[in-house]
Amino acid sequence: MNQGAQATDVPRDESRPSRLLHDLRSVPNLLSLSRIALIYLSAALFLIGLPVSALAVGVIAGVTDYFDGYIARKTGQVTELGAILDRLSDLVFETTWLVLATFFHLLPPVFLILYLLRELVVLSARLYCGERGVALTSSFIGKLKTNFFGYSAFVVFVQVAGVAPALHQALRLLALAGVGVGLALSYWSAWGYLRTFARTYDDGR
């Protein structure tokens, strides 16, 4: 019987307050949830032809990414759920904006394909290791990758919003370079995750 099955067999004391609900109500985690909602709102605004409003909402969503971690550390509200929601919001953001950029023909589809391949491989490795009690925590390189994708998204959608049209060609080249570096960093961090996966797999034989 695996560890996941064992965990479901442990009875929960119904008189105790739910840890999940408690952590969900914390300000940092509410900010993370709001970021996911804002990302989808921004995408919807782009699709219905309101790029300036979409860009403004996207910037607000990006700002929350800095505030939730800062508030969590300052107030002692760092939780496991916070790490999960932070990773989830990064995935939602990166996937959504790359799909939009591909849809608007702002980036070649190969960027989206390479991104999804990397994320699916890392997710599979994370699930396998998690079932065996080995955590694949986010690395510095992975966080740097997220920053490159974030700034590149801003540059890409500044073009869609029609801001500074004289700079559009330069912005396009800058965005392509930023996404390229982000992808390179993502595969670099994936290599580290896969090394941990390989050690975990070997130990479990």
Instruction: Please report, for the domain that includes residue 197, its CATH number.
Output: 1.20.120.1760
In a domain, 166, yes or no: yes
Number of structural domains, the chain?
1
- 120 is a domain residue: yes
Residue 9 lies in a domain: no
Quick: pLDDT tens for 139-157. Answer: 888 888 888 998 888 888 8
pLDDT of residue 17: 66
Average pLDDT, the chain: 85
Mean pLDDT of 86-107: 90
Residue 153 structural domain: 18-203
Task: Decide: 173 and 100 in contact? Cβ < 8 Å.
Answer: no
The answer as to whether 2 is a domain residue is no
Q: Residue 135 domain-assigned? A: yes
Average pLDDT over residues 84-103: 91
Residue 5 forms part of a structural domain: no
CA torsion sign, 86 to 88 to 203 to 193? negative
Share of the chain above pLDDT 70, in %: 91
Q: What is the pLDDT of residue 11?
A: 55
The answer to whether residue 121 is domain-embedded is: yes
In a domain, 4, yes or no: no
